[in-house]
Amino acid sequence: MGKPILPRNDADPLGTDAAERRAMADFDRRMRQVARLYRDALASVPYSVVTVNAQQYQFELNPEILAVMTAEIDRAVDRILLEGGADQLWFTVGYVVPSYQAGTAAAWRNLGAQAERYKLGRPELASVLQSGPYRQRIQYLAARQFENMAGLTAETKASMARILTDGFAQGLNPRAVAKQLTEQAGIEARRGHRIARTEIGNAQRQARLDEAQQAAADFGVQSRMMWFSALSPTTRESHRVRHGNLYGAQDVRVFYTQDGNAVNCKCSVIETLVNDRGEPLDPALVDRVKAMRS
């Protein structure tokens, strides 16, 4: 029996940080495209300047034309933010699934290093990635990500359309409206950043939990998850105190459903073999990890 493969303190071995940066840049690019759609629509409407007590702008636009315009923009926004659809969503395929696969590979290496029966049963990573349970987990993952992105898309369309229609209705300066549209697109991009920082890291953790539970079901490999906190200045205390402790997979899942614990979390979990009483087979290693917290 070997020891758990612990993460390196000086690296991001699964590439999570780099993936998050790429995804955030992708959100920025797509939201700029969205902002351009609304600004172009604004610029396409003729107007005249009306001065009463203060300068106002009279837009030559009736409700029917406005309805057609917003419907066309909605479809275009969907093409940008929901590219690929439910089965091949750009965010899922480009960022979340690779993170999930990296977490699965890490769990496969770690469990194989500790449990001979798992190594014999799963001699190649492909035997995991091609299995029915793994493919089913990917389907659940894709459904979750599409739901997240559909929510962001709906909120983006509602916010941007409100700025556009208010500008038309109130006769606001088109330049001011265009500026508001750009600023709102930036707000929506930052919401996308939050999704990236949450979902990419969460996919890696969920993959490890899933494979550990699958190993128990298929081969009777009993493990618990050793918590690794980022131990950075921004680490939440409720996350820091868990460093080095062992938790059941379900306990970890419950923790991440509460109090926004999954948002911006940099913690990771490591599969650690235990005996029938749930005690680590290598308690000295657990003690050394806990000592890092002080």
- Residue 93 CA to its chain's centroid (Å): 12
Q: CA 132, 136, 140: angle at the middle one, nearest 5?
A: 170
Alpha carbon distance 164, 167 (integer Å): 5
pLDDT at 130: 95
In tens, the pLDDT along 91-145 reads 999 999 999 999 999 999 999 999 999 999 999 999 999 999 999 999 999 999 9
pLDDT at 10: 47
The 3-state secondary structure of 216-230, one letter per residue:
HHHHCCCEEEEEECC
pLDDT at 294: 66
Stretch 223-234: mean pLDDT:
90
pLDDT at 3: 75
pTM given for the model: 0.91
In tens, the pLDDT along 196-217 reads 999 999 999 999 999 999 999 9
CA–CA distances in Å: residue 69 to residues 96, 163, 167? 34, 14, 14
Give 151's DSSP letter: H
In tens, the pLDDT along 133-158 reads 999 999 999 999 999 999 999 999 99
